[in-house]
Chain A
Amino acid sequence: MFAYAARRILATIPLLLVATLGLFALEASVRDPVAELRVSCPKCDDTAFARLTELYDLDKPVLDLSNPANSRYIAWLGNTLTGDFGTSTSQGELPVSDFVWARAKNTMILAVPAFLVIASIAALLGMYSAVRQYSKSDYAITSLSFLGIAMPTFFFGLLLQVFWGIWFHDWTGWRPFFTSQMHDDSLSNLIKSIVLPITTLTLVVVATESRFIRASMLEVIHSDYIRTARAKGLSERKVILKHALRNAMIPVVTIWALDFAALLGGSVVTETIFSWPGLGPLLLSSIFAADVNMVMAIVLFVAVLAIGFNLLADLLYGVLDPRIRIH
């Protein structure tokens, strides 16, 4: 199993190298800070331009194959491999890793409870609508999940903000939740500020997950071994909870792992709408500011999360499904 994991991780390395190189080159070419400065500050002298060139390493090409030591990408790669992610050009030349780590913690405050809520609601809804296929509640759950999939996250987030922040307050004079920013001065305020972002994340993810779980459960319910279980004289409850559930959950574990990784990587739209100081808004502003080191660090963080959880899902798959043995 360890050898398998090691092989899997090794296989992703060339992929990561090519992807980071492409992104690095693209992000580095988004803006030309010197040209911008020339426009915005006609009176600046050459020391300012030299300073800027040094800060962004603009005198070096992204990748120079004839002289790798002179390449910005190779320099970044070397530093990154030694654990140095560089300094930010848009956040006062401070180390990128400090920012990413602080924002990742804030994102986690949303991601962990959101995942727990999402996984349990999706499992309940998906299983219930599979077991009661074509019932009124199945139709209701199905319609709601379609709505959740069809509604853009930012629109739902705006709706929640205007409802709880304005309309509900106008009717009752009471604002039960914060509609913006993280208030971590007390636990109750923290809870009041995570409710709406989590609700936003939940709607979208629950909608897709519950559809997936329903389909997985349906496939299992219609399988021959479930008929065998019924023919044994088991109660329907046991047929579902013992025989069907275990099989239906095997593919779901992968989805959960990937969704959890995605949540931990931060959500650009949700966090931006609710002004949550997580990874998403930092990524967004860094991309616009052409802050290459920051963008690369966040993307690496997200990619490593995705790869790690993907691997975890595969290992879990092998544990849950005896037909699959990982060597």
Chain B
Amino acid sequence: MSEPVISIDDLSVSFPTDDGWVHAVRNVSFDVEPGEVLAVVGESGSGKSVTALATMGLHPSSASITGQIRFHGRDLLSVSEREMRGVRGNGIAMVFQDPMTALNPVFKVGAQIAEMLQIHSDISKAAAWSKAADLLESVGVPEPGKRVNQYPHEFSGGMRQRAMIAMAIANGPDLLIADEPTTALDVTIQAQVLEVMKAAQEATGAAIMLITHDLGVVAGIADRVVVMYGGRVFEEGTAREVFYSSENPYTRGLMSSIPRLDSPKGERLVPIPGTPPSVLSPPPGCAFSPRCVYADDECTESHAELRSVGSGSSHRSRCHKLGQLTEALAGGAS
């Protein structure tokens, strides 16, 4: 087995706020293997975006951060800012949520893509611009020769996100972090942008860390899934394992709250009751326990560990009721 592209090990991130410390990420560990698409799924406040920003070294400077983020074996949390700059946009690139605001309004799109190339190599300006046009073409932007000379406001939302992807893959990164890349787009555009990302990944061989709250987005594209809740990893496994044999009440709750085309007629969507935990004063035990129908005293008093579901499998889940859950849920669902 090859070495992971990125290996997040016991990562914790906290911020000081006016109302006290917010522990946004708590002891998170997972790997991204070369060429795979790993989806990091969670609701607002689950810590998924903070994890992504920490990987880029773009977390707020006031944050307190512990653990390791190893990129090809090198801990990015202990390298100098200068070295980190060499990684950003080169080894690891990022696509942000809102393409309407992520591009600089006063520079031409071509200049912004060309800049990405020029930062990390000694390419001439003319060559960078011509490569920028090629990149736009590769992500399906029509008339790239004309488009490079346009400003972001002349692009539609979907086209801007394509331009962001073109910029992100410009230097052939090993890892592409996409933070809710489709959330701000129309539904019809979402699928196109996902396709573009998938195609770009196949062309460059980059691994993708896809941050999303939308399981629908995950289903079509992800190889593996990490489910986060309250700053912790709640479940981790292949897309198949997580989708079809989830061993976690939270994941199952998420899935029964999304509409499916193949669900039996008349079946109701079941929302998860309650709201995500407060980041300032999370519940004492399992963070999900206040919303979990199967929670008992054990759950409200102590944290569960992340445990392997089957022997030898990569499928892991954080639940006190691991093993007893299948029967309980099966009983509950029938």
Contacts and interface: CB of A to CB of B under 8 A. Distances in A.
Contacts of A227: 58, 96, 102
Contacts of A230: 58, 88
Interface in A227-278: 227-235, 243, 246-247, 250
B72 interface: no
B169 interface: no
A233 B119 contact: yes
Interface string A211-230: 00000000000011101111
A295 to B, nearest CB: 43
B101 A223 contact: yes
B105 A233 contact: no
A233 to B, nearest CB: 4
B98 interface: yes
B93 to A, nearest CB: 7
Given A227-B96, A228-B96, A323-B151, A234 B104 contact: no
B317 interface: no
A224 B102 contact: yes
A322 B151 CA distance: 7
Interface string A313-327: 000000011110000
Interface in B168-199: none
A321 B85 contact: no
Contact of B88 (A224, A231, A243): A231
B101 A234 contact: no
Contacts of A250: 106
B86 interface: yes
B233 interface: no
Contacts of B153: 322-323
B183 to A, nearest CB: 13
Interface residues of B, number: 27
Contacts of A231: 56, 58, 88-89, 93-94, 96
B192 to A, nearest CB: 21
A247 B104 contact: yes
Interface in B299-315: none
B104 A243 contact: yes
B54 to A, nearest CB: 13
| Main SS at interface, chain A | helix
B87 interface: yes
B209 interface: no
Contact of B85 (A225, A228, A234, A243): A234
A322 B98 CA distance: 20
A225 B105 contact: yes
Interface string B73-92: 00000000000011111100
A158 B211 CA distance: 62
Nearest to B151: A322
A223 B104 CA distance: 9
Contact of A247 (B105, B120, B151): B105
Nearest to B86: A233
Given A227-B58, A322-B151, A233 B106 contact: no
A322 B152 CA distance: 9
B98 A224 contact: yes
Contacts of B98: 224
A131 B325 CA distance: 52
Interface centre among A225, A228, A322 (most CB of B within 10 A): A228
B85 A235 contact: yes
Contacts of A247: 104-106
Contacts of B87: 233
Nearest to B150: A322
B105 A321 contact: yes
Interface string A283-327: 000000000000000000000000000000000000011110000
A243 B103 CA distance: 10
Interface centre among A320, A322, A323 (most CB of B within 10 A): A322
Contacts of A224: 96, 98, 101-102
Nearest to B113: A232
A234 B105 CA distance: 17
Nearest to B168: A231
B145 to A, nearest CB: 19
A322 B105 contact: yes
Interface centre among A229, A231, A250, A322 (most CB of B within 10 A): A231
Nearest to A227: B58
Contacts of A223: 101
A253 to B, nearest CB: 13
Given A233-B89, A233-B120, A228 B102 contact: yes
B104 A225 contact: yes
16 contacts: A225-B104, A227-B58, A227-B102, A228-B102, A228-B164, A229-B104, A230-B88, A231-B96, A232-B88, A232-B115, A233-B89, A233-B120, A243-B107, A246-B106, A247-B104, A322-B151
Interface of A: 223-225, 227-235, 243, 246-247, 250, 320-323
Given A231-B94, A232-B89, A233-B86, 14 more contacts: A224-B96, A225-B102, A227-B102, A231-B88, A233-B87, A233-B89, A243-B107, A246-B106, A320-B106, A322-B105, A322-B106, A322-B151, A322-B153, A323-B105
**Closest 5 pairs between A and B when the two form their complex, measured CB to CB:** A233-B89, A233-B88, A224-B101, A232-B89, A225-B104
